[in-house]
Structure 1
Amino acid sequence: MTSFVTNPTGAAPQEQTYRVVLIEDDLADAVLVEELLLDTGLRFELTTCTSLAGARTDPALRTADCILLDLHLPDVSGTKAVAAVRAAAPHTAVIVLTGLSEAQAGSDAMAAGAQDYLVKGKVNADLLHRAVRYAVYRSQTELANAQTQAATLRAEENSRLERGLLPQPLLSTSAVTVTTRYLPGTELALLGGDFLDVVEGDDGLLHAVVGDVSGHGPDAAALGVCLRIAWRSLILGGHRGRELLHLMERILIAERGDRPLFATCALLTLDHGAATAELHLAGHHGPLLSTDRGSREITAAHGIALGIDPRVSNWPASLIPLPAAGALTLYTDGLTEGRNGSARGRLGVEGLLTLIDRLPQSDPAAHIDLLIKETSALNAGRHSDDVAVLRLDWREPAAPEPRTAPDRVRG
Structure 2
Amino acid sequence: MPVPAPRPAESSAAPSDGGLTLLVIEDDPGGALSGPEMAEMTCAAGKPVRIRTARNLTEAARLLTDDVHCILLDLALPSMETGAVGGGCGVAREASVAVATREPLDELDTLRQVLRLAPHQAVLALTAEADAERAAEAVRVGAQDYLFRDELDGRVLNRAIRYAVERKRADSAQRQLTETRLRAQENARLERGLLPNPLLAGSELKFAARYRPGRSRALLGGDFYDTVRTPDGTVHAMIGDVCGHGPDEAALGVELRIAWRALTLAGLCGDELLSTLQQVLEHERADEEIFATLCTVDISPDGDRAGMCLAGHPAPLLLRPGQAPGLLPQEGGGPALGLLPGARWPLHQVELGDVWSLMMYTDGLIEGRVGAGTRRLGQEGMIELIARQVKEGLAGEELLEAAVTEVRALNGGELTDDLAVLLLDRGAFAVPFDR
Shorter-chain TM-score bucket reads 0.7 to 0.9
Q: Deviations over 1:67-86 (max 9, x none)?
A: 244689xx999777654543
Residue correspondence of structure 1 range 211-360 to structure 2 within 5 A = 211-258=240-287, 260-271=289-300, 273=302, 275-292=304-321, 293-300=323-330, 301-309=332-340, 311-359=341-389, 360=392
**Inter-partner Cα distance in structure 1 for 2:49 and 2:344:** 70
Q: Does 1:157 align with 2:160?
A: no
**Inter-partner Cα distance in structure 2 for 1:120 and 1:149:** 37
Bigger shift: residues 266-275 or 372-381: 266-275
Conserved 8 A contact 2:73-2:123: no
Conserved 8 A contact 1:68-1:97: no
* CA pair 302-2 structure 1, distance change in 2 beyond 3 A: closer
Q: Secondary structure at the match of 1:294?
A: coil
- 2:22 aligns to what? 22
Conserved 8 A contact 1:325-1:394: yes
Post-superposition offset of 1:138: 6.7
**Inter-partner Cα distance in structure 2 for 1:46 and 1:383:** 52
**Inter-partner Cα distance in structure 2 for 1:161 and 1:280:** 28
* CA pair 194-274 structure 1, distance change in 2 beyond 3 A: closer
**Structure 2 portions without partners, runs of 5+:** 1-14, 26-32, 54-60, 78-84, 92-109, 431-435
Post-superposition offset of 1:47: 5.6
Q: Does 1:364 align with 2:393?
A: no
- 1:374 aligns to what? 406
**Structure 1 portions without partners, runs of 5+:** 5-18, 39-43, 399-411
Conserved 8 A contact 2:252-2:285: yes
**Inter-partner Cα distance in structure 1 for 2:428 and 2:141:** 74
* CA pair 45-324 structure 1, distance change in 2 beyond 3 A: farther
Query: Given residue 123 of structure 1, which amino acid in structure 2 is its aligned partner?
Result: L
Query: Given residue 32 of structure 1, which amino acid in structure 2 is its aligned partner?
Result: E
**Inter-partner Cα distance in structure 2 for 1:107 and 1:229:** 56
Identity %: 33
**Inter-partner Cα distance in structure 2 for 1:243 and 1:287:** 21
TM-score, normalised by the number of residues in structure 1: 0.75
Post-superposition offset of 1:308: 1.4
- 2:218 aligns to what? 189
Post-superposition offset of 1:153: 3.9
* CA pair 291-193 structure 1, distance change in 2 beyond 3 A: same
Structure (1/2) with the larger strand percentage? 1
- 1:16 aligns to what? none
**Inter-partner Cα distance in structure 2 for 1:56 and 1:297:** 67
Post-superposition offset of 1:344: 2.3
**Inter-partner Cα distance in structure 1 for 2:349 and 2:49:** 77
**Count of aligned pairs:** 363
Say which of 16, 23, 32 aligns to 2:40.
32
Post-superposition offset of 1:295: 1.2
* CA pair 282-30 structure 1, distance change in 2 beyond 3 A: farther
Query: Given residue 261 of structure 1, which amino acid in structure 2 is its aligned partner?
Result: I
**Inter-partner Cα distance in structure 1 for 2:178 and 2:397:** 34
Query: Given residue 22 of structure 1, which amino acid in structure 2 is its aligned partner?
Result: L
Residue correspondence of structure 1 range 98-137 to structure 2 within 5 A = 114-118=143-147, 120=149, 122-124=151-153, 129=159, 133=163, 136-137=166-167
**Inter-partner Cα distance in structure 1 for 2:206 and 2:386:** 18
